[in-house]
Amino acid sequence: MADYHPGISRQIHRIGRGTREWIVSAQACPKVGLGDLSAIGITETAADYRFERPNPTHGVLLACLGGGGRVLIDGGFVAMGPGSIYVAPQGVPHAYHARSGSPWRFCWATFAGSFVETPAPLLAEGDPLPLERAMLGLKAEMSAAADAAMIDRYAQLVHAHAHRLVLRWRADDRLWKLWQLVDGDLGRHWTLTDLAREAGMSAESLRLLCRQRTGRSPMRQVAWLRMQRARSLLLGFDLKVNEVAVMLGYDDPFAFSSAFKRSIGASPIAYRRQRRARTGR
């Protein structure tokens, strides 16, 4: 049950005495910034831990590992326990508190842009352990010999697991399995008939369900997944634009560049240049 709450009116960032946090920003580790992530971390809270953002400049993904806290949903605070995922988009008020007498451990990521596309914060179920393991691996590498190649790989894993949690939150089970399949084979020339067959439903049923869940048609959802992967490939690897296009099922690199610009707002080359300039790479 949600406790009634009239909303949040001012920004509060209260870490609390006794809270322990490990944080890595995209500035400290540029590969963390794949796909619009701005920072990641693992937090173990004290009782007075409290964050409220009425006008957030970023979105947030919280994955509860143990204990529990409270998160703002529809103007009220709802209990969040192990295996719960809290997703709040950029620009929409969100808040999360530790509960008195209940230790709370969670991993998290902040992001901008279109990493999450939802009008309001939501709470769902999901397995946070793969994301935690990837973050712990990154932490260990950054604390040890600082092997750049391994740091890059762990940062890519963090992004992939965060993205998978978002996908898991977005869809019902039938669509989750379908988009997992598509995300694993983005170079395939998918058709609506292919998608409907893999989902085990008619093309019209898939179209209606996909519109309801994502706000996009099935083929536009495929294109969206391709653009998210394109961003990671452009920033994480020194690939030519035509190489990225082929990997994502585009025979014509100009068609890929046009699709990327429509979705992201910049050409692939301009996007890579802007993001790398921002992170100092």
Are residue 154 and residue 243 in the same domain, yes or no?
no
Are residue 188 and residue 136 in the same domain, yes or no?
no
Residue that finishes a domain, picked among 170, 191, 223 = 170
Are residue 159 and residue 204 in the same domain, yes or no?
no
Q: What CATH number does the domain containing 218 carry? A: 1.10.10.60
30 pLDDT more than 50: yes
| Residue 40 contacts residue 135 (beta carbons within 8 Å) | yes
Residue 4 confidence class, pLDDT cut points 50, 70, 90 = very low
Q: Mean pLDDT score of the chain, rounded to an integer?
A: 84
Residue type, 167: L
> What pLDDT is stored for residue 169 in this prediction?
56
170 pLDDT more than 60: no
With the C-alpha atoms ordered 281, 158, 218, 59, is the resulting torsion angle positive or negative? negative
Are residue 113 and residue 243 in the same domain, yes or no?
no
Residue 93 confidence class, pLDDT cut points 50, 70, 90 = confident
Q: Using DSSP, state whether 101 is helix, strand or coil.
A: coil
Mean pLDDT of 126-144: 90
> What pLDDT is stored for residue 167 in this prediction?
67
Are residue 151 and residue 193 in the same domain, yes or no?
no
173 pLDDT more than 50: yes
Residue that finishes a domain, picked among 170, 194, 211 = 170
Q: Residue 95 CA to chain centroid, in angstroms?
A: 18
Give 280's contacts (C-beta < 8 A, 6+ positions apart): 27, 30
Are residue 99 and residue 220 in the same domain, yes or no?
no
> What pLDDT is stored for residue 263 in this prediction?
81
Mean pLDDT of 115-121: 67
Q: What CATH number does the domain containing 76 carry? A: 2.60.120.10
> What pLDDT is stored for residue 1 in this prediction?
31
Number of domains composing the chain: 2
Residue pLDDT, tens place only, 210-251: 876 666 789 988 998 898 888 888 877 888 999 999 999 999
Q: Residue 175 CA to chain centroid, in angstroms?
A: 17
Mean pLDDT of 104-118: 82
Looking at mean pLDDT, say which of 70-79, 116-125, 205-214, 260-269 comes out highest: 260-269
90 pLDDT more than 70: yes
Would the pTM of this model clear 0.85, i.e. be above it? no
* Higher-confidence position of 192 and 277: 192
Are residue 30 and residue 158 in the same domain, yes or no?
yes
Are residue 70 and residue 185 in the same domain, yes or no?
no
Are residue 130 and residue 10 in the same domain, yes or no?
yes
> For residue 115, what are the domain limits?
3-170
Between β-strands 37-44 and 20-25, what pairing exists: parallel, antiparallel or unpaired?
antiparallel
Residue that finishes a domain, picked among 140, 170, 200 = 170
63 pLDDT more than 60: yes
Are residue 42 and residue 156 in the same domain, yes or no?
yes
Are residue 126 and residue 234 in the same domain, yes or no?
no
> What pLDDT is stored for residue 7 in this prediction?
55
> What pLDDT is stored for residue 2 in this prediction?
35
> What pLDDT is stored for residue 6 in this prediction?
42
Are residue 196 and residue 122 in the same domain, yes or no?
no
| Residue 206 contacts residue 232 (beta carbons within 8 Å) | no
